[in-house]
């Protein structure tokens, strides 16, 4: 008996859900339809995979990922969906899985509404057109949403999922913020304490000692589904939380948005945007901090700011991190000796075991390791016995070559599609108008992938140049063989970061792990 895996997906939650664990009505309907379809054909249902509240462009859907893993292990023979778009809206994934890996794994793909069936060789073009239409849908939807959000940002409406700490969303007016008095009291206290001369770390420690939840924990305690990456001591206030708060104009009534922007509509990854591209609209909501206190705090911040230290004290600035909690280590001075210590020890009791090391000792350990690597490499003649300078670059290059092959295949497919459309027009299977419209779309997409080929080829050329430069390892290493002291330029060039542990009891040894840039 053939085994079928059923996959269901819904992109947004049904409003009639009774609780978060219930399936939506639409998911239930999909299951019912697919179970009946399998039963009519005498197929055994291996398992039902269901992703509720996930978009078709999300590649990390948990049940989708589990389905692919089970398919690769040949646990079933058929994947059954309501429509091809339930499986994915990305043409790239249609080609990769439905037309690529599934046949290799011996998996048949069927979507019953749009009649996609990989056992039917004659409807491959139909499946590709479905994928193309779904891809256009995603792109058009992304552009439309982006346009709407940009307009709302420019008009000063708040569009975030959560309000900034100190505010909450106005239930009476969408896009408007009102003051959350409980959190606003903490914000006013932070500004007042700093204006009175208390430092940011001291303020964080004061709030932690009193058990005041930090903004992330505050949202959770008030029932908001706020998610952040797992981290140590996530309930604690930290230096940077105080620092960011003190310069955020939202607290004086100005709406500031667009600090981060998405890389692509196909990924949730965001990256920082330059300040010139932020959306700032003044006087959009009631301020928590009055202008006089704000100006006083900004003047103090400007006064306390110091130029970046490039001498002996600052050679490991932002490079040394605590091996236990991952917090950036800070410099301190005692009796003329400079140290690096874990910052978590300053913000709360028992926050961390407390990494601690003399700057001079860390410099000596780095120099010793650098000289050891230099000597070891210069005594070897083969790459396998030396330092793998370009390993990561080679991986990037291999990935780009895979993308390049995919893009070239897509260009060939669109070219063939145009030729096939022309033959269909000649045979009278489609009208001249349909041919013109569809061929135009195919041509635009072919040009898109041709541009990707050009861009990717350029990236590969750059990587090859970097790898070739990296092959001159001996010359690079020899620059640092006889160093007696480190400086900031050397550290920036050679070191990505250094993990510093706690001193081993009974010894003077402090474990460190150096992560080199090469």
Domain around 61: 3-150
Same domain flag for 234 and 273: yes
Q: What tokens does 132 get? A: 């193309």
Same domain, 43 and 125: yes
Judge if 296 and 438 occupy the same domain.
no
Would residue 312 count as lying in a domain? Answer: no
Together in a domain, 48 and 17: yes
Q: Are residues 31 and 135 in the same domain?
A: yes
Q: How would you write the pLDDT of the chain (518 residues) with one tens digit per residue? A: 899 999 998 875 443 444 545 555 577 888 888 998 999 889 999 999 998 877 766 778 889 999 999 999 999 999 999 888 888 877 778 888 888 888 889 999 988 887 788 888 766 666 566 656 666 655 655 566 666 677 777 888 888 778 899 999 999 988 899 999 999 999 999 999 988 888 888 898 889 888 899 998 898 888 776 655 444 446 788 888 898 999 999 999 999 888 776 655 455 556 677 878 888 888 999 999 999 999 989 988 887 654 433 333 478 877 888 887 777 788 888 888 888 888 776 666 666 777 889 888 998 898 888 878 776 655 544 434 434 444 556 767 777 788 788 888 888 888 888 888 888 788 877 788 777 877 887 888 788 788 888 878 877 876 676 666 554 555 555 666 667 788 776 787 788 889 898 888 888 888 998 887 76
**Is the same domain home to 378 and 492?**
yes
Residue 31 belongs to domain with CATH number: 3.40.50.1390
The answer to whether residue 394 is domain-embedded is yes
Q: Is 276 exposed, middle or buried (0-12, 13-18, 19+ CB in 10 A)?
A: exposed
- Does residue 311 lie within any of the structural domains? no
H or E element: which one contains 27? helix 25-40
Distance CA 149, CA 151 (A): 5
Angle, CA 457 vertex, CA 390 and CA 454 arms, to 5°: 155
Residue 435 lies in a domain: yes
Q: Note whether residue 314 is domain-resident.
A: no
Q: Which of 107, 132, 150 is the last residue of a domain?
A: 150
State the angle between helix axes of 181-195 and 239-246 in degrees (0 to 180), rounded to the nearest 10.
90
Residues 340 and 284 both lie in one domain: no
List, in sequence order, the alpha helices (H) in 223-342. 239-246, 291-304
Which CATH number belongs to the domain containing residue 183 in this structure? 3.90.1750.20
Domain closes at, from 244, 278, 304: 304
My answer on whether 124 and 256 are in the same domain is no
Asked whether residue 313 is domain-assigned, the answer is: no
* Residue 309 domain flag: no
369 and 491 both lie in a single domain: yes
Q: What is the pTM of this model?
A: 0.43
126 and 223 together in one domain: no
How many domains are there within the chain?
4
HEC string for 65-82: HHHHHHHHCCCCCEEEEC
């Amino acid at each position: 008996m053939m085994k079928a895996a059923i996959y269901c997906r819904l992109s947004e939650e049904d409003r009639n859900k009774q609780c978060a664990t219930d399936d939506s009505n639409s998911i239930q309907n999909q299951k019912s339809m697919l179970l009946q379809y399998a039963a009519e054909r005498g197929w055994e249902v291996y398992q039902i995979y269901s992703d509720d509240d996930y978009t078709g462009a999300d590649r990390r859907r948990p049940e989708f990922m589990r389905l692919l893993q089970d398919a690769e292990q040949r646990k079933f023979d058929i994947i059954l969906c309501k429509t091809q778009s339930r499986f994915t809206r990305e043409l790239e994934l249609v080609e990769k899985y439905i037309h690529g890996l599934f046949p290799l794994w011996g998996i048949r793909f069927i979507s019953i509404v749009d009649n996609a069936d990989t056992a039917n060789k004659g409807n491959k073009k139909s499946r590709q057109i479905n994928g193309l239409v779904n891809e256009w849908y995603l792109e058009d939807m992304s552009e439309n949403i982006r346009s709407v959000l940009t307009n709302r940002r420019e008009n000063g409406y708040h569009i975030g999922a959560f309000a900034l700490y100190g505010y909450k969303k106005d239930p009476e007016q969408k896009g408007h913020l009102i003051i959350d008095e409980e959190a606003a009291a903490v914000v006013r206290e932070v500004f007042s304490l700093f204006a009175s001369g208390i430092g940011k770390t001291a303020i964080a420690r004061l709030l932690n000692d009193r058990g005041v939840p930090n903004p992330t924990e505050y949202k959770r305690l008030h029932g908001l589904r706020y998610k952040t990456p797992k981290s140590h001591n996530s309930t604690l206030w930290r230096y940077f939380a105080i620092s960011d708060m003190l310069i955020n104009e939202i607290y004086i009534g100005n709406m500031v948005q667009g600090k981060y922007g998405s890389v692509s509509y196909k990924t949730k990854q965001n990256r920082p945007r330059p300040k010139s591209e932020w959306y700032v609209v003044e006087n959009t909501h009631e301020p928590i901090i009055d202008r006089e206190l704000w100006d006083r705090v900004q003047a103090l911040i400007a006064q306390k700011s110091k130029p970046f230290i490039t001498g002996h004290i600052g050679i490991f600035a932002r490079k040394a991190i605590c091996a236990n909690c991952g917090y950036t280590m800070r410099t301190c001075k005692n009796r003329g000796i400079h140290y690096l210590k874990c910052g978590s020890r300053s913000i709360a009791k028992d926050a961390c075991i407390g990494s601690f090391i003399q700057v001079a000792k860390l410099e000596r350990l780095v120099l010793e390791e650098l000289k050891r690597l230099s000597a070891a490499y210069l005594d070897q003649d083969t790459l396998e016995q030396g330092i793998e300078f370009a390993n990561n670059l080679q991986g990037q290059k291999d990935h780009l070559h895979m993308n390049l092959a995919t893009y070239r295949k897509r260009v060939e497919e669109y070219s063939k599609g145009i030729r096939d459309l022309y033959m269909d027009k000649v045979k009278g299977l489609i009208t001249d108008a349909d041919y013109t419209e569809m061929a135009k779309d195919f041509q635009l997409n072919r040009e898109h992938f041709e541009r990707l080929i050009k861009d990717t080829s350029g990236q590969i050329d750059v990587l090859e140049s970097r790898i070739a430069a990296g092959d001159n390892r001996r010359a690079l290493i020899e620059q640092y063989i006889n160093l007696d002291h480190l400086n900031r330029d050397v550290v920036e060039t050679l070191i990505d970061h250094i993990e510093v542990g706690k001193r081993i009891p009974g010894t003077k040894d402090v474990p460190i792990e150096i992560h080199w840039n090469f």
